[in-house]
């Protein structure tokens, strides 16, 4: 009986090599599967970003531009797409104030944008948003179609927020007169000059410009009764003001 049992037991060395061979085959199969999976993930045709949805209030933002920009800057698969880099790329667009980006399984990308709100044209070549930040964009004819009319503000670099706040303060005073500022100039020495929609130019000087503008508002009904047309009003006085009248062209 003991002799039969000894013959029936498999040899310990054979069992070890069988197990080792099975383990090696398993490792090779796993490595092959990982290689194939990596190749599949890297293959754009297997998992491309097919659906890019851009949401948010969009008046000036071009959705197609964002979609094309994402595809050009992130040409890889859905799995390889860098959300952080895509976010930076979108926020670099002139009309985008803020953006958020997230993937949507299995092949989608959701982009939410907050658009810049234009408040003024700055030095003829840029725009100011509602916070007084300058951004490089043009409003062009689309602004007219949307009924947006912006004032033109001019000033030294770094004075954007000061200029916008000064404009808002002055415009609030002018509401009672139904006048509005078309152009506003802030000099290097921070002297204020404005031109109104009726063509009158106001020289407000450097200090107490709000009080001086209030003086103009108080006296405007009297000034507007004059038969002559006002060219400018100089308010750089402690009291009173000086009025310059337009000269009429005389026919020969």
CATH at residue 72: 3.10.20.310
Claim to verify: residue 152 and residue 108 sit in the same structural domain: no
Tokens representing residue 23 in the block? 């383990």
Say whether both 80 and 139 belong to one domain. no
Per the domain annotation, does 32 fall within a domain? no
Tens of pLDDT, residues 38-94: 776 665 556 678 889 999 999 999 999 999 999 888 777 777 889 999 999 999 999
Answer whether residue 3 is part of any domain. no
Rounded to two decimals, what is the model's pTM? 0.77
Tens of pLDDT, residues 92-136: 999 999 999 999 888 899 999 999 999 999 999 999 999 999 999
- Residue 125 sits in the same domain as residue 236: yes
For residues 128 and 190, membership in a common domain is answered with yes
CB neighbours of 113 closer than 8 A, spacing ≥ 6?
54, 55, 56, 58, 61, 66, 90, 96, 98, 99
251: DSSP letter? P
Question: Within this chain, do residues 97 and 148 fall inside the same structural domain, yes or no?
Answer: no
User: Is 175 among the domain residues?
Assistant: yes
Number of domains in the chain: 2
Select from 216, 210, 215, 211 the least CA-distant residue to 196.
Answer: 216
Structural domain boundaries enclosing 186? 118-245
Based on the domain organization, do 178 and 232 belong to the same domain? yes
Does 43 map to a domain? no
In angstroms, rounded to a whole number, what is the distance separating the alpha carbons of residues 189 and 75? Answer: 51
Question: Which of 160-174, 177-191, 235-249 is the least confident region?
Answer: 235-249
Could you tell me the CATH number of the domain that includes residue 188? 3.40.50.11690
């Amino acid at each position: 009986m003991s002799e039969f049992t000894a013959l029936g037991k498999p040899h310990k060395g054979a069992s070890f090599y069988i197990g080792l061979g099975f383990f090696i085959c398993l490792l090779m199969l796993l490595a092959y599967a990982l290689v194939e999976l990596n190749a599949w993930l890297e293959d754009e045709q297997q998992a491309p970003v097919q659906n890019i949805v851009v949401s948010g209030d969009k008046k000036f933002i071009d959705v197609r531009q964002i979609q094309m920009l994402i595809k050009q800057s992130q040409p890889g698969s859905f799995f390889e797409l860098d959300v952080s880099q895509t976010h930076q790329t979108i926020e670099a667009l002139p009309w985008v104030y803020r953006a958020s980006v997230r993937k949507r399984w299995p092949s989608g990308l959701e982009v939410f944008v907050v658009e810049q709100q234009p408040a003024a044209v700055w030095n003829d070549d840029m725009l100011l948003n509602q916070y007084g930040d300058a951004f490089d964009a043009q409003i062009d004819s689309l602004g007219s179609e949307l009924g947006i009319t912006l004032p033109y503000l001019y000033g030294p670099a770094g004075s954007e927020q000061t200029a916008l706040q000064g404009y808002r303060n002055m415009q609030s005073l002018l509401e009672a007169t139904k006048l509005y500022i078309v152009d506003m100039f802030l000099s290097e020495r921070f002297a204020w000059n404005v031109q109104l929609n009726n063509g009158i130019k106001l020289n407000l000087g450097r200090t107490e410009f709000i009080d001086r503008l209030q003086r103009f508002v108080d006296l405007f009904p009297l000034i507007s009764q004059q038969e002559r047309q006002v060219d400018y009003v100089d308010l750089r006085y402690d009291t009173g003001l000086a009025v310059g009248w337009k000269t009429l062209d005389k026919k020969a």
